[in-house]
Structure 1
Amino acid sequence: MKKLGNLLPAARLRRLTHLTAITRNVTRWSSTYAMLKRYVAIRGFVHQLNDRTILSLLPTDEQDKDIDILLGILGELESGTKDLQAEDSTILDARNLFDETILLYPDAAKRLGPNADILVSPIFESAVTKLLNNAAGQLSAVERESVCGLQMNFLATQNPSDKPLTLAERAKKRKKTSHEEFNYLDCRFLRPTSNMCERFFSLAKLALTDHRRAMTPQNFEQQMFLKVNNWLWNVSDLVKAMSK
């Protein structure tokens, strides 16, 4: 594909098709899929170039069959990769996607498993997954402790009245509260990836032109956050804020 990107081969290929060669970007996994997909699309035209240098680099027929099989596998993984990049993706969605991938490709468990070495806090992730799956009752003691900061209300430990409770009343209260469930925050705000932040940083980089160099960092940050969260406000809110 690198040879096809050179000046003369690229010009000859352009006469046969509007598709150009795509090279692999080591920083993006999806570029491998894009490169192989483009190769399959243009390999018929590549043979028509009659360039000995390029023809000597082409895969054999058996290798082409392996590429077709590999492309099908990468196509499945590519769909999962794009789902992870969605802004409405949750940790539960990511866990379900990883579990499905492990079922198809068991070797992926080393990196995608719930206890993979790459995870910073597997206990917290497991707890959040259960909360998103409405299974708070299945939390272990360690998992419950890891998400204690997400609890919305805590159980009352003191008697609201001044009258002390009897032994029987305290026993009944302990039995009642032991079966109560804590209410937790909606954990959908916890993102499985940093794509939303990366998009925001890219947008800030494009917006920080020479015309905005004189802006203070505080004003620039406020404007960028208003831009990203423009669905939370409208013109009427702006008028109310200016009138105060």
Structure 2
Amino acid sequence: MENEVYYEVLLGCSPPLNEKSYTAEEHYALLESVLGIYGKSIKAPVVIIGDNCLTNKALADLMGVPLIGCGCHKLNLAVKAYLARRPAVEKTIARVDKVVSQLRNLKAAGALRELTSLTPIKRNARQLDDIDSIGRADSERLKTIIPSLNDFRSIMTDLQKKGQHIGAVHETFGLMTKDYPELKDYLAADAAIAHNPLFESAVVKIINGEKDSLTVEEKDQVACFLLPSASAASATQRRPIQSRDKKTYASQLRERKRQRMTPSEEYADLRFITGTSASEERRFSSAMHVLRSTRKRLTPVNFEKLLFLKHNRHL
């Protein structure tokens, strides 16, 4: 964060040192190598943001930092579990997917255009007669589930906006679980999938201006973000009495004593801690556009240079 503007900098985009292994240890060695280029140690990062997979959790444990689970990944898992509890709906969606996948050939597409402007994007069928149909029961099931799926898609789209800090993501998930209690297993702040819910809770409180409600355990989790406060020291200094109608000297002494007992604590702006890794997903997508079929012989070094220049043009 700089002047209320969120910036992201690409430091490296290299495969693991051992391309045959993608373990937490290999990722640790890769991060250590990349950070060493910039004169930083492996202890420099304060948090990892990514999917709640076992490799990322193991990497976070190796580095001794908390892992913030990607909100998009959590929502994806929650929706899958939501549909898994409705096997009839899952089968209906599979049948619809099969029908839509058959509507790519010219005759079927022509018939479809008479009904809607939408076009399918999957496999095609040879003859129009080969296309299956959707039963009335399936249609009714879809009508009941589509509003919920539209809600989930809306949230997924919103989560992918740039600079979505963890406080905003937690607030969104908190409201979602009130409307859809079944999603709590993945979206609740204290869900079992979370790597360090105590750290996330502390960061959210600081972002929301609720630092006074931090518990002792939460303060320990975010102690590295504590700023040296000059205001606490200056507050204890004696302030001269300017006039008789101001506070009395005795009340000033009591106030100074109270300030010494409860020193103010200031934390860094933690809005740089995003609640999703959607920006990295976009980088992977852009990398696919860079590594086109005509650039298959591009060396990893030159490939990394192209991405570095593309994503760091604001520097």
| 1:5 aligns to 2:89 (yes or no) | no
| 1:91 aligns to 2:166 (yes or no) | yes
Q: Report if aligned partners of 1:151, 1:183 keep a CA contact under 8 Å in 2.
A: yes
Aligned to 1:216: 301
Q: SS at 1:180's partner residue?
A: coil
Aligned to 2:60: none
Q: Summarize deviations over 1:107-164 as a string: whole Å, max 9, x none.
A: 1111111110110110010011111101111111111110111122268999xxxxxx
| 1:207 aligns to 2:285 (yes or no) | no
| 1:141 aligns to 2:224 (yes or no) | no
Q: Report if aligned partners of 1:91, 1:190 keep a CA contact under 8 Å in 2.
A: yes
Distance 2:304 2:131 in 1: 53
Distance 2:257 2:199 in 1: 28
Residues 1:19 and 1:172: Cα distance change in structure 2 (over 3 Å) = closer
| 1:230 aligns to 2:230 (yes or no) | no
Residues 1:110 and 1:231: Cα distance change in structure 2 (over 3 Å) = same
Note the C-alpha offset of 1:192.
0.9
Q: Decide which structure has the larger Cα Rg and report it.
A: 1
Between 199-208 and 117-126, report the one with greater CA deviation.
199-208
Question: Percent of aligned positions with the same letter in both sequences?
Answer: 26
Q: Summarize deviations over 1:179-221 as a string: whole Å, max 9, x none.
A: 222211111111111111222233234324638835736xx54
Q: Report if aligned partners of 1:151, 1:184 keep a CA contact under 8 Å in 2.
A: yes
Structure 1 segments (4+ residues) deviating >6 Å: 155-158, 171-174
- Using CA pairs under 8 Å that are at least 6 residues apart, name the structure with larger relative contact order, 1 or 2: 2
Residues 1:78 and 1:177: Cα distance change in structure 2 (over 3 Å) = farther
With structure 2 as the length reference, what TM-score do the two structures score?
Answer: 0.52
Aligned to 1:81: 156
| 1:186 aligns to 2:269 (yes or no) | yes
Q: Report if aligned partners of 1:10, 1:20 keep a CA contact under 8 Å in 2.
A: no
Paired residues in the alignment total 190
Q: Summarize deviations over 1:42-83 as a string: whole Å, max 9, x none.
A: xxxxxxx9837613xx2x323312201211111111111111
Residues 1:3 and 1:194: Cα distance change in structure 2 (over 3 Å) = same
Q: Which has the higher helix share?
A: 1
- Structure 1, unaligned runs of 5 or more: 24-48, 159-170, 233-244
- Structure 2, unaligned runs of 5 or more: 1-96, 234-253
Distance 2:260 2:150 in 1: 51
Matches within 5 A, 1:125-204: 125-153=200-228, 175-204=258-287
